Structure 1
Amino acid sequence: MLLSSYHYDLPPELIAQRPVDGVNRHQSRLMVYNQKTDTVTHDYFYNLPKYLPADSLIVFNQSKVFPSRLLGNKKSGGKAELFFLSHETNQNGSYPALIKTRSKKNIGDEYTFAAEMKVEVSEIFSDGTFGVKVSLPAGFKNLLDYLETHALIPIPPYIRKGESDEEDKKNYQTVYSKHTGSVAAPTAGLHFTNDLLEKLKESNVERAFVTLHVGLGTFKPVTVAHLKDHVMHSEEYFVDEENLSKIRNAKNVFAVGTTSLRVLESSYGKDISPNEHYKTQIFLHPGVDVKSVSGLITNFHLPESTLLMLVSALIGRTKTLELYELAVKEKYRFFSYGDAMLILR
């Protein structure tokens, strides 16, 4: 299958720059596609409970985005932007990061950020990332503590050219996030409010949680012409004992977002251990038989992205592009802060 076969035309004005409502996120629109009847319903996200069977289990990714974007200066002069890929060190004691400057980066380069935090380049990797050492200012117990105070939430480049602000610290985070480790939000979950979660409970829809930390790979475009040549990025996940038991015993499982589906499909039929950390490189696309879910709640994704291919694995490429064309016609809002789609299989 050619990458170009997953292209669609999207007017730029349909790319959401802010949530429809930062407080009442459930007021976003919802396109419901029933695969069995091949019908489409246009609704609002707060009506989600009426589309889910009473015996359903809805699975959320509770990974939490950490503020990782810093603006500072190079020691030799000039502006610098640093994007931490993890708040934990690698095996060499360095923090993985991206560095944006106008000049070439070299080992030993030094940068200064807010509160006089010092950063030095210690490793340069072939994929364009770096390992850095940090000297924390007094009063901070670790890097995450510093970042929570001084860093900005990272947002995708199609949202205000990646220029995040204080509002994004609240808006670009799910209300149920728990385990810190993602550099991008599991965005299907952004539509849920505590009120809506309570309504789901009243509708006898049970909840389960998994954790998959969204990494840098989620931003990387597919660069090969043929999908068979694409190498999927790796992400780490784990599930605790209580939630693993719920998932194994459920009849109708609905994944909230592509990251939850990646966990469910990666672990389906396997004897994984509770709280054990696993890595997945699963690439879901047409031709892959998705067995773990009865449905998916997801946003509208970028053209030619692996996320669009994942949706196509559930309902086929032709139907997916047909629904996206309809979404454009109906002026749905696209991407991370946009509207949602519910797929019923």
Structure 2
Amino acid sequence: MGLGKLPAELVEAVVTELCIHCSPGVERCCYNSNCYCANMDPADVERIHALTGLCLTSRHLNSIATRHLYHAIDSRCWLLLGRTRVARPDLALLARTMRNCWSYGTDQRSCPTMQDLYAYFSSKRATYLETVSEELSEEDWPQESLKGRVDDDAFWAGDNNLPLDILTSLCPNLEALDVSVSYFHAFRFCTPNSLPHLKHVIIAHADTTYGIDLSNIFPLLRAAPNLTRAVFWSVDACGELDVTLPKLTYLHLQNTSISVESLVNILRACPNLETFHYTMGVGERHDQFPLSAVRAAFLENAPNLKVLTLGAGENDHCDEDWDEDEAPRLARVFEEREVKFEFKPYDW
């Protein structure tokens, strides 16, 4: 008996098992965008190939498999995905999960099928430049520099986070993001509350030396009011965020070094935070809050905190920034407030 002749609920169950969103496969070992685990697992690639084959089998199976095929998208194929979603908005509505590692450009500028995507990009760029020009003075952000990061060459090359800018603006039903960003601003085409279903994000920085300024992903935070869980790999700053994430209860900052001011800015944006994990970063770091500042920062700005973990990670210079003698005193303070506190020093 062919698959298409099976009961509808059984076919749905089989197809769901092939969907890497509905039935997640191998979990990543870390959040470093340069680690091998950032690439899609070969088993997941095979599942995608199987779904693609089902789409071509029959009209009946196509209607079921297509829905699951577009549930999880890989932004390395951003040109094809963007072009498809501009032409077929109904497919854009199916996307639930997005991940990426590296993106590539194209030399097909004259290809007729690329013109619709380019027109969409041009429209979004115009709106973005107009909005930012109203919000910032030229001293804050020189206009020529601003335009250069969203010019035509950047689009065709897939540079400056533009693939993410475009795809996140096309897929309003996203529930999870696992992506890597480069320097400068990202998610620039996201408008306020445009990603109401987004609950989980993992965002890493593509450079292993420097890190993300969380202010640079502000449009995403503003677009996702229902975000509940966030993991950031390699953060080095956070300016004052003009946004509140009332539903975010879990935050993990890995391979990170931030100042007290940046820490407070983050905590104030997450008033209902319950779990905070922090692992000190390596590489060229600017500031690192001392342990002596932890008590005031969290007690004054995280009233709902239940779990706090601070770790030195792989930073063998952690003793320059953290006085480990402070850890037992902090543990007693947080224990009195029924907060589970754990300090993980560098393992010499």
TM range (shorter): under 0.3
Question: What's the TM-score, normalizing by structure 1?
Answer: 0.26
* Larger relative strand fraction: 1
More helix by share: 2
TM-score by length of 2: 0.26
Higher relative contact order (CA 8 A, sep 6+): 1
